[in-house]
Amino acid sequence: MSPATSKRELDHPARHEIRLEAVLHALSDPVRLRVVGELAAADGELSCSYFDLPVTKSTTTHHFRVLRESGVIQQTYRGTAKMNGLRRADLDELFPGLFDRILQAAALQGARLGH
């Protein structure tokens, strides 16, 4: 982790600090899997308040932190909004093709289970 230079800047692992185990753990939760699916579909940044998740606000914050600390997303303050974006370039460089396969697997499972 690089130290945050202000309260308004959030800690992110550098690319070389991202670990496969942490990425898989981050994606092993249905809420977090749904968040990354929506980010992938949006193909850009989305604010935390965009997501209508079936969990409390503090649990939502926790899920976004797990995604950020594992290196799956970057979070940036823009004014009062916390914006979220996938770290596609970093993940694709470290683990070629993995992220797309996980998204595809999630979509197939969603279709199978009627979600």
3-state secondary structure of 73: strand
Nearer to a copy of itself, 28 or 59 (CB): 28
Of the candidates 112, 110, 114, 111, the one whose C-alpha atom is nearest the C-alpha of residue 30 is: 110
Residue in 19, 41, 42, 77 binding a copy of itself, rule: CB under 8 A: 19
- Return left, alpha or beta for 114; rule: phi > 0 is left, psi -120 to 50 is alpha, else beta: left
The footprint of a copy of itself on residues 75-114 (CB under 8 A) is: 94-98, 101-102, 104-106, 108-109, 112
Distance, in Å, from the CA atom of 103 to the CA atom of 27, rounded to the nearest integer, reads 10
Of the candidates 105, 28, 14, the one whose C-alpha atom is nearest the C-alpha of residue 67 is: 28
Residue in 5, 6, 21, 111 binding a copy of itself, rule: CB under 8 A: 21
Distance, in Å, from the CA atom of 112 to the CA atom of 99, rounded to the nearest integer, reads 20
Nearer to a copy of itself, 25 or 49 (CB): 25
Nearer to a copy of itself, 8 or 16 (CB): 16
Nearer to a copy of itself, 46 or 106 (CB): 106
Residues forming the site for a copy of itself (CB under 8 A): 16, 19-22, 24-25, 27-30, 33, 94-98, 101-102, 104-106, 108-109, 112
